[in-house]
Amino acid sequence: MNNLIQKYNIPGPRYTSYPTVPFWDNNGFTKQGWVGTFQRSFDESNAEEGISIYIHLPYCESLCTFCACNKRITKQHSVEIPYIDTVLKEWKLYVDLFSSRPKIKEIHLGGGTPTFFSSENLKKLIDGIFEYADAAEGYEFSLEGHPNNTTKEHLQVLYDLGFRRISYGVQDYDLKVQKAINRVQPFENVKRATEEAREIGFSSISHDLIFGLPHQTMEGMLETINLTKQLNPDRISFYSYAHVPWIKGVGQRGFHEEDLPTPELKRALYEEGKKMFEEMNYFEIGMDHFALEHDSMYQSMKEHTLHRNFMGYSSSKTQLMVGLGVSSISDSWYSFAQNEKTVEEYEKSIQNGELSVFKGHILSEEDLIMRRHILNLMCNLETSWADESMRFDDVERIKTMLQGMVDDNLIEFVENGLIVKEQGRPFVRNVCMTFDKRMIDNEPETRIFSMTI
């Protein structure tokens, strides 16, 4: 395995979209073009499946130095109401573009720290969304919670609003690691937040763990997983730390490069963690996710309905995802659009009655074909070009690029398709990269992605 890690551990995208953001053709993008695909997608899909909404809540009281998300650090909670008022104004701008009343299948509150906001203000936000919308059948509402500041009141209010999934950012229980990433949270806080969510009735509780953080050791990782076992979350996200200080600057320079595990140790942390999760009756799903058999994500994997977008893996799919809030990305399937990245610029455009979109990408027919193949690989570890709608011109090039992975027994080609073998799962991003025509045709001159392994 170490030889394979050395061979395939290269910079590569995480494929929450295709094309990936660095390869968007912003020159061919206009707000008018985005609105056109947005309205088309809504008309095609709202009645049958509804839409998804991602709401970015960027505020945090302290900076976690491992985090690559868009955030604003402050202890001034006076920012809550003006920000929520702006998000609701943005939502109304989108509502005015709809041809009928929207049905919401998914809501996800991300951050930042959504539980930075008071329960009262989160209720104001969700009530404001549903002033102009209805919940779709089988809806699923979720949020990210910080164990240190998620209160029982937060949980009860959100449960009453229809939320049933919560994901707690745990990362690691080793105090040395926690101090290095400026994320000190005792096990007792995670235990309290988990048990309170379970008592109130949340049906899916997830813990986010990260491997590859500074000062991590095998002993510390095993202790973190053993403590996680005591709380038995329904899902576990086991993420590879994305070290991208050239993008995020000082936020990811709270420690020295030599404090990071070697690539070999980092992969060993994952393999041992995966082994322990399997012993705990978790099933591996896609890339870096694990779930118990009763969880909806496991069920969607079995039924081949697993989806992946900017919110990560999802147990249900909607064609249209509306991103609200600073830096949020919307996805109409036919195009992507991203909001302004600073709170000030975002709020300014919305207050002026304009969508805050500042860049995006309109997908070509070729993009759409490659997007479907990459989604198939990321969600189902296989893809096929047998159907006319999935055919493309580069099959022989891809076969040539992947011959080494065939020789290493990581994948196999079948008639008009390919399958990623179980031993090839850690390298699925490498497989996807051969389908990434945008990246291949525009090879970056500098490093822009984290390592694949």
DSSP bridge partners of 140 = 106
Structure token digits, residue 4 = 């394979």
DSSP bridge partners of 169 = 208
The pLDDT assigned to 385 comes to: 96
The pLDDT assigned to 246 comes to: 47
- Mapped onto helix, strand or coil, the DSSP state of residue 384 is strand
Distance CA 435, CA 369 (A): 10
Residues 6+ apart with CB under 8 A from 146: 113, 115, 116, 168, 169, 185
The pLDDT assigned to 6 comes to: 72
The pLDDT assigned to 446 comes to: 59
Task: Return the sign of the alpha-carbon dihedral for residues 284, 287, 289, 294.
Answer: negative
Q: Give 118's DSSP letter.
A: -
Q: Calculate the alpha carbon distances from 239 to 68, 192, 279, 285 in Å.
A: 13, 23, 19, 12
Report yes or no: 55 and 111 within 8 Å, Cβ to Cβ.
no
Q: Calculate the alpha carbon distances from 280 to 49, 292, 439 in Å.
A: 34, 9, 39
Tally of CA atoms within 13 A in the half-sphere of 63 that contains its CB? 13
Radius of gyration (Cα) for the chain, nearest Å? 21
The pLDDT assigned to 250 comes to: 47
Q: Residue 154: what are its φ and ψ, rounded to 5°?
A: -50, -50
Choose among 104, 112, 101, 113: nearest CA to 148.
113
DSSP bridge partners of 313 = 308
Q: Give 388's DSSP letter.
A: G
The pLDDT assigned to 408 comes to: 94
DSSP bridge partners of 336 = 331, 361
Report yes or no: 329 and 343 within 8 Å, Cβ to Cβ.
no
Percentages helix, strand, coil for the chain (3-state, rounded to 5) are: 45, 20, 35
Report yes or no: 350 and 86 within 8 Å, Cβ to Cβ.
yes
Position of tokens 């998914």? 106
DSSP codes, 261-277: PPHHHHHHHHHHHHHHH
What CA dihedral angle connects 87, 72, 252 and 424, to 10 degrees? -20
The pLDDT assigned to 448 comes to: 54
Digit-by-digit pLDDT tens for the chain (453 residues) are 667 767 877 777 889 899 999 999 988 899 999 999 999 999 999 999 999 999 999 999 998 888 888 899 999 999 999 999 999 999 999 999 999 999 999 999 999 999 999 999 999 999 999 999 999 999 999 999 999 999 999 999 999 999 999 999 999 999 999 999 999 999 999 999 999 999 999 999 999 999 999 999 999 999 999 999 999 999 999 988 876 664 555 455 567 788 899 888 988 998 899 999 999 999 999 888 999 999 999 999 988 889 898 878 888 889 999 999 999 999 999 999 999 999 999 999 999 999 999 999 999 999 999 999 999 999 999 999 999 999 999 899 999 999 999 999 999 999 999 999 999 998 999 999 999 999 988 876 655 566 656
Report percent pLDDT > 70 for the chain. 94
Instruction: Indicate the pTM of the whole model.
Output: 0.93
Distance CA 38, CA 47 (A): 15
Report yes or no: 215 and 180 within 8 Å, Cβ to Cβ.
yes
Report yes or no: 114 and 143 within 8 Å, Cβ to Cβ.
yes
Distance CA 387, CA 403 (A): 23
The pLDDT assigned to 450 comes to: 60
Distance CA 233, CA 297 (A): 13
Q: Write out 25-41 in H/E/C secondary structure.
A: CHHHCCHHHHHHHHHHH
The pLDDT assigned to 453 comes to: 62
The pLDDT assigned to 247 comes to: 52
Q: Give 188's DSSP letter.
A: H
